[in-house]
Structure 1
Amino acid sequence: MVGEPLARSAHRRTLSSQFTTSTYPGGPRNNIRHNNSSFSPLPPLTHRRRYLAISSLLILAIIFILKTSAGAPFHRITSVYSKPNLEDQVSSCGKLTTPTRTTIYGTDTVYIPGPTQTVTVQDNALIQPHPSKAVVFILIMWSKTSAIEGALLVKSILMYNTSPSEFHIICDDEAENYLRSRFALVHRPRQHILIRFYKPSWQSMLDRIEREGTIQTDHSAGLPGLMKLFIHEIVPVEKGIYIDTDAFFISDPTLLWNIFETLKPSTAVVMSSHPDQNSPEWNNASRICSCVMLLDLEKLRNLRLMDSSIYQADSTHRFPSALGPEAFRAMYGLPGGDGRGRYDNVRLGDQGYWWAIVSHRPDIFEPLSYDFEVTSCLLNTYNIGLGNDDTDESEELSRQSFLIDTPQEGIVVLPKLLHFNCLHGTDVYMNWEGWSHPDNILAQRWGAALKYHEGYKWIWLNNGGGSSMQMEATSVVFADEHFASEISL
């Protein structure tokens, strides 16, 4: 259930004092008398002792300041609860837009080396905008088991990312609590980190599907999995990377983020494309994988990706019709067969609907390099794995499989993200029985990589200085509800 924002005071620790020094002359000059390039006897003993004592204190003070500045990096860990400012998030055409500010309810503690004091900051402080070069990830974790998998994905991102990281996580209480227990171990991240938890209630998700009117799922991901079709309505950012929880990075995630800079102006969705795959029982939805997606959320809002009874009730006709219904009818016919029910012929959950969308509107789609989706499902990880470190690219390409008649044909796959889907019989892929079988081909290829990343301690991420970690939690209002509020439906 969605928790109400908590109004709390914030505490900030700041420097309370600075050292000030004045010059000590070392004794009165009138006690010094020159005589043939020499001077008269030294000042009285009391002056010498005073001079030495004060000089020693000054030297110790300078050493203390230097050691404190060099040896105690600036850390910032913020734990806050926020609520969205609706006036910032709804534009004149009913789209969910990136907020310019967010109101904070909670605590904000800043640790700074040196003498400190605690200053209370009242509620309604503003979150600073995320760093412009941050890599934005959007994840869905519903249940503790999902969070156990997702935590490994997040950890791998923090291990390799050369940019600041933003995590926008749609989750329940169990998942949030598990993730917070891991984030609490990181005090000195190498790069800035923002974590924002989005907490829709189960009923609110059911209601949004009901307002859409035609979709349903028979996939094991269930209702939370369908939320992949509504990310643009939930998360108020311009663009982001979505990744399923059963995956982890083995290279810098910034490389994936940089693909955004290479896309055509019309592109809104990037995911792996496998046109060589034939699966009539799934309506060939296996020709894409919605497990790793680059999403231009602002473009998807402009397209009004998913329909709603609220949109249908708008009699002004000032806004475009939703893209989804037309795409779904083009591939699957009328919902329920007669237009009065829900689709019962769509397979693979949200992926079946994404397949209809990108098939109907190929102008908004581009294929993703297999480097970022080395999958264990059907494609046998393209017949690549660890070992033979002196292999050159031409030899590696000659060994790889499932590349002919695909966008990757003739291009060597250089793995950067591993995806361990289709490992049946376990709720957590790391616990899959096959990993313990020495003859299992997947275990031979990637078992060592899994063992390393799973065993990598969270405290080992404390290798930075001057970076911050900020955590927030917010409730969810879907875009069609914002629209209804705006036009007073």
Structure 2
Amino acid sequence: MAPQARSPAYRVLGFIFFTSLLFVTVYIAFETRLDFGSRFHIQPRNNSKTELQSSRHPVDIYVPQQDVAQAPVVITMVMIGETSAVEGLGALKSVFMYLSRPLELHLVCSSDVPEIVDRKMALISRPTYNVRVSYYVLDPEMIRDRATRAGIGTKHQAGLGGLAKVFLHEILFNVPRTIYFDTDMAFLVDPVLLWKEFDHLTGEKMISFPIQSLEAGPEKICSCVMLLDLQQMRRRIFMPSTSFPPSTATLGSPDTWASAPLDPQDPQMGDQGIYWAIWRKYPHHFVPLSLSWDVTHCHWSWGLGLAQGDDSITEAEHIDMQTEVSTAAPERFGQIFPGILHFNCQGFTDIVWEDADNLRRPRWAPFVWVIRQYKWVWFNRGDGTATVNTKIVNARHFHDDVMFARPATNSVRKPGWKGKHGKGTLKSTLPHSGFLDIPLSTDHVNFHSDCLASLTTTGRGIKKRMLTTTWSQALLILAALLPEYIQALKAEDFKLCKDAAFCRRGRALAGRALEAGPSSWRSPYSLDKSSLTFSDTKSSFTVPVRSSIYPDVKFILEVRVHEDGVVRVKMDEVHTSASKWKRYDEAAQWALIREPALASKVDWKVGSKDIKATYNGAEIVVMYDPFKVVLRRGGKDEVVLNGDGLLHMEHFREKPVEVKVESEAAPSEVVEGAEQIAIQPPKPIKTSAWFEGEEDDGYWEEVWKSWTDSKPKGPESLSLDITFPGHSHVYGIPQHAAPLALPATTGPGAFFEDPYRLWNLDVFEYETPSVMSLYGSIPLLHAHSARSTVGVFNAIASETYIDISHPSADSTKSHWISESGILDVFLLPGPTAADIFAQYARLTGTPALPAHWALGYHQCRWNYQTSEDMRSVQKRFDEDDFPMDVLWLDIEYSEGHKYMVWNDKLFPDPVEMVNDISAIGRKVVVIVDPHVKREEGYPVYTEARDNGYFVKRVNGEDYEGWCWPGSSGWVDFFNPGTWNWWTGLFSLEDKAGVAWRWAKSTKDVFIWNDMNEPSVFNGPEITMQKDNLHHGGWEHRDVHNINGMLYQNQTARALIARETPAKRPFVLSRSFFAGSQKYGAIWTGDNMGTWEHMAIGIQMVLADGIAGMTFSGSDVGGFFGNPEPEMLTRWYQVGAFSPFFRAHAHIDTKRREPYLLDEPYKSIVKSILRLRYSLLPVWYTAFREASVNGMPVLRFVSNYLCLM
């Protein structure tokens, strides 16, 4: 049926609602502050006379720079007030004197400090190694307030600076790890030696400081120098707050202080006492730092010895060596004692370097004299090519705050500073990944909890308008917006249930059960309770399963209770030595982050009809005959497995021998025209026909169109019904272009006729709404009601169909039909939506926290044609003042679609091109598809072929298919041997064991994995044959839906490995599975530039988030077509409120970069992009929360579900 024409008013009404819905979502996330990300106030940068090189990314996600092929040392100091700054400058001198690597310096400071430090920085001469300084300007009262919320007292300025030390994990919100040292410290050795001590911070270890005595009080530890794994501290939630929920577990807490004992209100204890108390309570998070005290020379000066040397070299001799010989021998550093000097003199003098007692000490005096008197020079052979970059990190709060501050002014480039861009004029730089200095005033959007805020656009930007409506009215609008069925692709190229024999069999089974009725239908599966066996802790049990229709076939059931209340139900056919085949049982291995921890003890009650246990407020009941599993809460059934008796695990069997029937009469004896009767042997009686049906439909071979599936293992499908009593709505099982609340596919009022299908496919211009397979599959289903939310994760990777029905107004049934695999179901008990997200995240992992730049705007099309084309696009974005963070390259950058090999005619200078783009902080994303061109001389192909890394045909030969390059092979990433090989291809430098690598790449190139379902142009349904073989002998039918996730996983792993220390990767994948959220972003694929696809894209992104894939979005403008300016502008509004924000277009479309729009659309889109950047604190906060507890970044609000 062709779509009906839509009036402009209808379109406007629809997008007012959708945009409003997204704004309310962001507003509620903003207000509720369910966030453990870091935010803190920063005051605007004071005017400074210092000549600075501007930083394009004032809030860029911190990952240490890689200079002169050496990883930098990361050091943090706290400077509150001028005295502290002057004191700290002496400490910095000592760092500069000895450091043999680039430096990342983070200064937590008051507003007067940057100018003081900048003045000294400008005096540095002859630098060899780059220095990057980040100022985190804090109002001291903010530290006092945060300490108060943690129950910690402070009464003086020095105490405030000390207390900032216990909140560094929040203040340095994007720093993974750092050396901290006080301002009254001095290095006498290379700080690299201390940096190497991080090797001892493994597992749960997060903090290391010197300990004089294991039994002593706070005065016997030293928080003056520490190694801090800030990532671990953030994950564990290091410090408490009254703003946290009572259940929030923190290391610092009243219980911690009481057990120390420690009075947290005593300001004399400060940070030292706090760290001491937490260390005593949680020693497994700490490592003693290998430094020792030397108190023989100064009664208040401590020498901390690094590398336990002797006293053969005095400090004076050491200084002479440093000043006279620029490059001191590293092997002599270990002989110097002490290696770090601590002048613990705050109570005696303002500036420790000026203290007369220190100047009189014969041992320290020469060093102190150098610190005080010597010019600010680097004691090395610097040639002046290195740079000093400074920036102020923009507005943030502590992670328990509930309000945002106005963004601060960004760094500026001042006249005279000769950085990498040469001399500059006074100019404020527009941050493409930073927060724009745009006041959140009425020129933008104001929110009210009783209204939906909607956007109206003018030539000058976005104005506010309030749409007063009830949620029921809003839902009516949503229902009206559900697009009609449209025909936009060759639907006959893809299967329906009727085209797959196993689905036909599964649906027919459900039909027979429905026809028989519940009183007559009985599941053939039962448990042998006499052989029930418990584990030692009784957290799990196993029991044999019998089938009344196949009594000789053995099955085994295992039920496990996890420590968080999740119940895992596994059933498999018992594999015997006589059996050639084994059911695929490794899907969970790829999806789960680890084997879940089991409950410490479960009190099972074994009865005559069932076995049951209560755990974490829920009751699990396993019935013997017929076999059924029920999850209950409050005496009411929440989830029921096999309640309708549709469980069926088709067992392995011998293929029947075909009997050839010969005619009794010779050909010459056949009388023409006489009635011929074919004589067939009598059919054996099929005793299972009441359950399985009379026909062996497609057991041993299946033909669809021109392809034959050989099915060597025969039938092995799995059918299971899962019911959600009392839950009227279900969500999840992406990816489908379907409404968010999944409509029924069977029974009264069914919206669709076919089941939802999970089978990753390359479907361009897909239908909306539709149950057909798309690019990803996550077999996770949520059921929601006013009473509770529950979920089911079915760890299966084969082709799966899911029927949804509503036997009553408040109940939902689902019927899962899979082609192969074991029954491996995780019951997620909730009882809230947030609980479900956390339970699922504990199984499959939380979403990776993306690099901050990845949350900005991405500009892409198929294809930017040349290096100069890329440069011109960047130039136009800057000239027209459009913020943008990432430029993309599609397949045409490569020579003959040989990925990682540049087309030298179109891109003669790829490294220089990337450097030109990254010079101002942008990144480049380049496509690397999984199909490998079969061509001699292409190293990726020849190495994979020679090592046997390709997927095989059923006969054992390398599989050959067709894709963009023509004849292609596909690397089998189920083979562990491919992993290090693939990592080596992305190396940025030559390495042992790496024969060929992508040499013309840089650390600013990130990767797009497209076509990884996999897409095979000449294969059935544009994918790979099911009887292809992977590592371990598994058929492609068993693992198909996992394939794309493994490709993204290994690509992300390669990007992480290419730099030391590792930086957060960015890998966009089109295909995904349960667990893909750990590896990067996805998108909704090849959509169309229509209102319908714009609308359904919102629901698809929401569904992705419900299933854990939070970093998701749709191509702005649609991949196909040329949308009108109004539609394109509306799409930018929608895209700006999608987690992944990218514009993309087909090669045949007109150019539609936003700067090409006419007014007023050009200004509107510019305002939309600026609004996105001004809300990056909200986005990053939401992503931080997702990375901790799995909460979706984008959440929907309705009468039926409120995830906030």
Q: Which TM bucket (shorter chain)?
A: 0.5 to 0.7
Distance, in Å, in 1 between the alignment partners of 2:65 and 2:352 is 33
Q: What's the TM-score once normalised by structure 2's chain length?
A: 0.26
Structure 1 residues 154 and 382: CA distance shift in structure 2, 3 A: closer
Q: What secondary structure does 2:210 align onto?
A: strand
Residues 1:161 and 2:136 aligned together: no
Q: What secondary structure does 1:166 align onto?
A: strand
Structure 1 residues 387 and 299: CA distance shift in structure 2, 3 A: closer
Structure 1 residues 434 and 471: CA distance shift in structure 2, 3 A: same
Kept after mapping to 1: 8 A contact 2:201/2:207: no
Could you tell me how far 1:264 is from its partner in structure 2?
Answer: 3.3
Provide the residue aligned with 2:133 in structure 1.
195
Distance, in Å, in 2 between the alignment partners of 1:150 and 1:413 is 23
Residues 1:360 and 2:281 aligned together: yes
Kept after mapping to 1: 8 A contact 2:204/2:285: yes
Provide the residue aligned with 1:327 in structure 2.
256
Provide the residue aligned with 1:210 in structure 2.
148
Provide the residue aligned with 2:77 in structure 1.
139
Distance, in Å, in 2 between the alignment partners of 1:219 and 1:269 is 26
Residues 1:477 and 2:397 aligned together: yes
Residues 1:370 and 2:273 aligned together: no
Kept after mapping to 2: 8 A contact 1:157/1:253: yes
Provide the residue aligned with 2:370 in structure 1.
452
Aligned amino acid, residue 323 of structure 1 = L
Kept after mapping to 1: 8 A contact 2:111/2:139: no
Aligned amino acid, residue 244 of structure 2 = Y
Q: What secondary structure does 1:173 align onto?
A: coil
Distance, in Å, in 2 between the alignment partners of 1:177 and 1:155 is 17
Provide the residue aligned with 2:270 in structure 1.
349
Could you tell me how far 1:218 is from its partner in structure 2?
Answer: 5.7
Could you tell me how far 1:130 is from its partner in structure 2?
Answer: 3.2
Distance, in Å, in 1 between the alignment partners of 2:61 and 2:95 is 23
Residues 1:291 and 2:209 aligned together: no
Distance, in Å, in 2 between the alignment partners of 1:94 and 1:362 is 27
2:233 alignment partner, one of 290, 294, 300: 300
Greater relative contact order (CA < 8 Å, ≥ 6 in sequence)? 1
Distance, in Å, in 2 between the alignment partners of 1:210 and 1:423 is 24
Deviations 1:346-394 (A, max 9, x none): 74311111110001011011111226x656556864899997549xxxx
Residues 1:418 and 2:341 aligned together: yes
Could you tell me how far 1:250 is from its partner in structure 2?
Answer: 1.1
Residues 1:174 and 2:107 aligned together: no
Distance, in Å, in 1 between the alignment partners of 2:77 and 2:59 is 27
Distance, in Å, in 1 between the alignment partners of 2:286 and 2:336 is 21
Distance, in Å, in 1 between the alignment partners of 2:399 and 2:185 is 29
Kept after mapping to 2: 8 A contact 1:146/1:245: yes
Structure 1 residues 387 and 454: CA distance shift in structure 2, 3 A: farther
Distance, in Å, in 1 between the alignment partners of 2:145 and 2:110 is 17
Aligned amino acid, residue 130 of structure 1 = P
Structure label with greater radius of gyration: 2
Distance, in Å, in 2 between the alignment partners of 1:465 and 1:180 is 18
Aligned amino acid, residue 271 of structure 2 = D
Q: What secondary structure does 1:458 align onto?
A: coil
Provide the residue aligned with 1:14 in structure 2.
none
Deviations 1:333-354 (A, max 9, x none): 7x6xxxxxxx345743111111
Structure 1 residues 387 and 353: CA distance shift in structure 2, 3 A: closer
Distance, in Å, in 1 between the alignment partners of 2:180 and 2:88 is 12
Provide the residue aligned with 2:176 in structure 1.
238
Deviations 1:239-261 (A, max 9, x none): 00110100111111011001102
Structure 1 residues 128 and 210: CA distance shift in structure 2, 3 A: closer
Distance, in Å, in 2 between the alignment partners of 1:290 and 1:331 is 17
Distance, in Å, in 2 between the alignment partners of 1:306 and 1:294 is 17
Residues 1:95 and 2:36 aligned together: yes
Query: Would you tell me which structure has more helix in proportion to its own residues?
Result: 1
Deviations 1:83-122 (A, max 9, x none): xxxxxxxxx9833379xxxxx9x999999xxxxxxxx999
Could you tell me how far 1:433 is from its partner in structure 2?
Answer: 2.0
Provide the residue aligned with 1:65 in structure 2.
none
Aligned amino acid, residue 154 of structure 1 = L
Could you tell me how far 1:145 is from its partner in structure 2?
Answer: 1.3
Aligned amino acid, residue 94 of structure 1 = D
Provide the residue aligned with 1:251 in structure 2.
189
Q: What secondary structure does 2:189 align onto?
A: coil
Aligned amino acid, residue 370 of structure 1 = L
Structure 1 residues 124 and 324: CA distance shift in structure 2, 3 A: closer
Aligned amino acid, residue 480 of structure 1 = D
Provide the residue aligned with 1:152 in structure 2.
90
Kept after mapping to 1: 8 A contact 2:129/2:387: yes
Structure 1 residues 385 and 121: CA distance shift in structure 2, 3 A: closer
- 1:14-53 to 2 correspondence within 5 Å? none
Could you tell me how far 1:305 is from its partner in structure 2?
Answer: 0.9
Distance, in Å, in 1 between the alignment partners of 2:103 and 2:277 is 32
The answer for unaligned runs of 5 or more in structure 1 is: 1-91, 99-103, 112-119, 279-283, 336-342, 391-410, 438-442
Kept after mapping to 1: 8 A contact 2:237/2:251: yes
Could you tell me how far 1:173 is from its partner in structure 2?
Answer: 2.5
Distance, in Å, in 2 between the alignment partners of 1:452 and 1:361 is 41
Kept after mapping to 2: 8 A contact 1:346/1:353: no
Structure 1 residues 198 and 277: CA distance shift in structure 2, 3 A: same
- 1:428-439 to 2 correspondence within 5 Å? 428-437=351-360
- 1:379-394 to 2 correspondence within 5 Å? 381=303, 389=313
Deviations 1:138-184 (A, max 9, x none): 10011111111111111211121111101110111232221111001
Residues 1:464 and 2:464 aligned together: no
Kept after mapping to 2: 8 A contact 1:152/1:248: yes
Q: What secondary structure does 2:213 align onto?
A: coil
Distance, in Å, in 2 between the alignment partners of 1:150 and 1:234 is 19
Could you tell me how far 1:217 is from its partner in structure 2?
Answer: 3.4
Aligned amino acid, residue 150 of structure 1 = G
Aligned amino acid, residue 176 of structure 2 = E
Residues 1:228 and 2:165 aligned together: yes
Aligned amino acid, residue 145 of structure 1 = T
Could you tell me how far 1:445 is from its partner in structure 2?
Answer: 1.4
Distance, in Å, in 1 between the alignment partners of 2:366 and 2:142 is 41
Structure 1 residues 381 and 207: CA distance shift in structure 2, 3 A: closer
Distance, in Å, in 1 between the alignment partners of 2:183 and 2:239 is 24
Aligned amino acid, residue 231 of structure 1 = L
Deviations 1:281-303 (A, max 9, x none): xxx11121110000000111111
Distance, in Å, in 2 between the alignment partners of 1:163 and 1:233 is 26
Aligned amino acid, residue 447 of structure 1 = A
Aligned residue pairs, count: 340
Could you tell me how far 1:465 is from its partner in structure 2?
Answer: 3.7
Kept after mapping to 2: 8 A contact 1:97/1:298: no
Distance, in Å, in 2 between the alignment partners of 1:254 and 1:223 is 29
Residues 1:130 and 2:49 aligned together: no
Deviations 1:440-484 (A, max 9, x none): xxx111111111233221145682343221100124421223799
